[in-house]
Structure 1
């Protein structure tokens, strides 16, 4: 088929000159994204020199009117006569063309995540697309810019910790510890924990960049039909920003994710059985992530504005979906914002893979989940503010009552549950007349309520 397309380049260019973009359809009220937790963008890389020399031409064209629409043209073989051209249009947030730099992408899509993470929330950037579409090049450039921003004078001084790991199928490997395997598990709060991974404290831009570069040397790559050095695993860089303010529940976390390159069926004809199995696992994990993020919208609101039934999202099916659980968990209590970057190879030989990439991006763009935090529930301690927690302590801690000021001077329900048992008991004993037995019983009572609420949610 590739040779057929190359033999008909002149026909394709003639049809392309005749193409006139259709007017955009009006679909009633436009979806607003002011409260959206997901921003979707597309980067179309330029044709490479070897692609140009082989006769390839561009098939993906961003419209120059700022509408965020990409026109994709596909030459089709017919039984009789000259080939025809099918055209598709995809509307996706903002489109960065071949003439726009990685720094421009950073300023418009990634930089806004940093102050959000600085305040104790979760920010996620991930790039996906066909192998050879420029994902690793883009993410590497964004990592360099993020490293400079984290240690700039405009941000307050805080401790910054980093871990970098690789997800291949259902295995996880620590790239800062010579690919040592580690576990990805859920804790009692439903949060994902990386058990046994090394985390480095970094103190400068140069140190962070050196760590990232060393980790990349351990990443799994292999030759594919489209790319001699294709990444055959998902690489995750997690930056944790320690927050010194005691009233903040969590440290801020920034995930930078370079997803493994997806491939079409025609790209794996010459692959081994292991490589084909690997490709299926990559494509399945990506499908779960995107469909899970899209279905998350139905858990927050329907078209009528009323809550709908929670969708079943199999996030335990792969290591990638476990790590990204925060993106599509309707019960999450932490603020989350995500920047998605769809990377596109513009060649007319790759329109099939490009179409799949743009379809996923369009699906996320139309979902626009808001990720509302859980509202107060007297049976769920993780939804309690400090005021709610103090009321519970005053009423339910026994006789004599434990002082709420001694036990929880500023903590929310989630924060107090994270306090070690010994410290919890010592705080209780500051109250007049309170015994160790009473303190132990109240600790158990609070934790039983938390466990029961988790079971009920499941």
Structure 2
């Protein structure tokens, strides 16, 4: 981590830092910058994308040079890291931050949308789950970016919809007092998981929209009702809560089919102790809530990043906050439907905000290197949620041992998913009043239906666990191969054998020997790696490699112990 000075020290040495930042960088530390991708290819094979957007310098601010730069044709963000040595010498170290694209003050909202969000809208229309997050410090342009992208999303949705589709939108606020509906004012909005494991939002008004103008009007109402207060860092009004805009796309001809969801989240800005010096008690409590919820978000990002480098189970704590629970699909690595996520890290270009900026970029890069493709776990045919209407009706008859002759009375519309979500009271009432079953017989029939649902959940958990084991085996195989290669290289160096990095040495026991230079040795054809006698499955190969390495280590330890105890080759102790 770059040793970025504190804000007071940055302001005191601002002239020297600005002069250094205005010079073109000679070298860039960090990962090598890579070429930018086409917007059309952003979500072709990758499910999570991370972007950086730097806001412009405002009229009342003075900044001869900025801390965030972009190299033309490259995707990486270049952070001009200010540093001060112990002797007081100032320097600026250009550091490359790996992200998918970088936007500066010259880029419009339309260009940002084309690159970041155009691939998300079709996912929601096709019944998947998509999410857009804007996060960063207070006053970094998150609300401005979110408002511009909402207008573009609303314009893009309408042409993609079919005559049998409808779009509803809900605006909710996650505040220190709970969740609130920004349109109706309902203060008791609940974000819960239903018995099928899907995230549901209750007591929040979903408004049907048919044009971009209606979305814009609702957005203005929601922003006006949102909790904002003027602070020292944001005089125009700092957001004191998280705002989530939830688009739900349903099919009117098959309303029981799972709808597509697009969540657009404008996170409240993080604040440091220096940003809260002028806050009263209420503002301080809001700052505590904001930082606590953002810390949970960062923990989810950190856990997702750890899952890329370990073979062990990593717990992602998305249930610790209502905000992360709403965005659960964006953090899970094993999902049941197509999921795409875009994260826009909004940063300030000012020198005084360098520590804030680097902290934001650090978490952006952590999410960038995390697993970027989710594994869609295949559903089982025994899962009632996957049954057709005909199969669901047949199972209703079977569950009652043939006593229900008109299963359409139990399930007037819908398929297996509608049957799995049918409450017990409705099932029993319909079975007793319209099918002539007794109360106990109706409850027994529902118990068989619910048992099929529970068994399907067990099967799904098993499928997820197998997918986790396979993913861990792939990572373990790569780690084991890398470890074995490093061990082999160490053995060759210890034995004095030539390596690719050093020329061969003559053997003194053979007299004059011709030395092969490195260029000739690299030009020779590489020897094929020895193949195992019997091909093993990938998981067993990893286990066998690790077990063999463990046996070799144990043999060396025993041999060393024998030598230390005065044994020679296992023939007993040496005699004097």
TM over 0.5: yes
Q: Displacement of 1:296 after TM fit?
A: 4.1
Cα 1:324–1:88 shift into 2, 3 Å: same
Query: Which position in structure 1 is the counterpart of 2:240?
Result: 232
Cα 1:56–1:165 shift into 2, 3 Å: farther
One of 70, 83, 88 as aligned partner of 2:90:
83
State the SS of the aligned residue for 1:50: coil
Higher RCO (CA 8 Å, separation ≥ 6 residues): 1
Gaps of 5+ in 2: 1-5, 34-41, 463-576
- The CA distance in 1 between the partners of 2:257 and 2:302, in whole Å, is 28
State the SS of the aligned residue for 2:352: coil
Deviates more, 1:265-274 or 1:137-146: 265-274
State the SS of the aligned residue for 1:217: helix
Query: Which position in structure 2 is the counterpart of 1:284?
Result: 292
Deviates more, 1:308-317 or 1:130-139: 308-317
Query: Which position in structure 2 is the counterpart of 1:416?
Result: 419
Query: Which position in structure 2 is the counterpart of 1:11?
Result: 16
Gaps of 5+ in 1: none
Cα 1:392–1:37 shift into 2, 3 Å: farther
Task: Report the TM-score when normalising by structure 1.
Answer: 0.82
Per-residue CA deviations over 1:194-218 (Å, capped at 9, x if unaligned) read: 2212221223222221111111111
One of 49, 55, 76 as aligned partner of 1:69:
76
State the SS of the aligned residue for 2:251: coil
- The CA distance in 1 between the partners of 2:368 and 2:98, in whole Å, is 8
- The CA distance in 2 between the partners of 1:354 and 1:19, in whole Å, is 19
State the SS of the aligned residue for 2:346: strand
Q: Displacement of 1:355 after TM fit?
A: 0.5
Query: Which position in structure 2 is the counterpart of 1:253?
Result: 261
Give the 5 Å matches for 1:184-199.
184-199=191-206
Cα 1:356–1:392 shift into 2, 3 Å: farther
- The CA distance in 1 between the partners of 2:373 and 2:411, in whole Å, is 31
Per-residue CA deviations over 1:237-282 (Å, capped at 9, x if unaligned) read: 1111121353973111111110001122322233334433432332
The structure with more radius of gyration: 2
Q: Displacement of 1:116 after TM fit?
A: 1.2
Query: Which position in structure 2 is the counterpart of 1:150?
Result: 157
Checking the alignment, whether the CA contact within 8 Å between 1:129 and 1:261 is kept in structure 2 is yes
Per-residue CA deviations over 1:7-64 (Å, capped at 9, x if unaligned) read: 534422443316323376479xxxx985432111111122112113xx5531111122
Checking the alignment, whether the CA contact within 8 Å between 1:386 and 1:410 is kept in structure 2 is no
Give the total of aligned pairs: 441
Checking the alignment, whether the CA contact within 8 Å between 1:170 and 1:319 is kept in structure 2 is no
One of 20, 32, 39 as aligned partner of 2:49:
39
- The CA distance in 1 between the partners of 2:194 and 2:396, in whole Å, is 28
Greater helix share, 1 or 2? 2
Checking the alignment, whether the CA contact within 8 Å between 2:50 and 2:367 is kept in structure 1 is yes
Cα 1:74–1:332 shift into 2, 3 Å: closer
State the SS of the aligned residue for 1:51: coil
Query: Which position in structure 2 is the counterpart of 1:242?
Result: 250
Task: Report the TM-score when normalising by structure 2.
Answer: 0.67
- The CA distance in 2 between the partners of 1:41 and 1:60, in whole Å, is 13
- The CA distance in 1 between the partners of 2:78 and 2:228, in whole Å, is 32
Query: Which position in structure 2 is the counterpart of 1:121?
Result: 128
Give the 5 Å matches for 1:20-39.
20-22=26-28, 25=31, 35-39=45-49
RMSD, aligned CA: 3.8
Given the alignment of the two structures, is residue 138 of structure 1 paired with residue 145 of structure 2, yes or no? yes
Per-residue CA deviations over 1:389-441 (Å, capped at 9, x if unaligned) read: 67994997464498999799997754431246688689999xxx996776653
One of 159, 162, 166 as aligned partner of 1:159:
166
Per-residue CA deviations over 1:71-105 (Å, capped at 9, x if unaligned) read: 22233344534423344321111111221110011
Cα 1:194–1:421 shift into 2, 3 Å: same
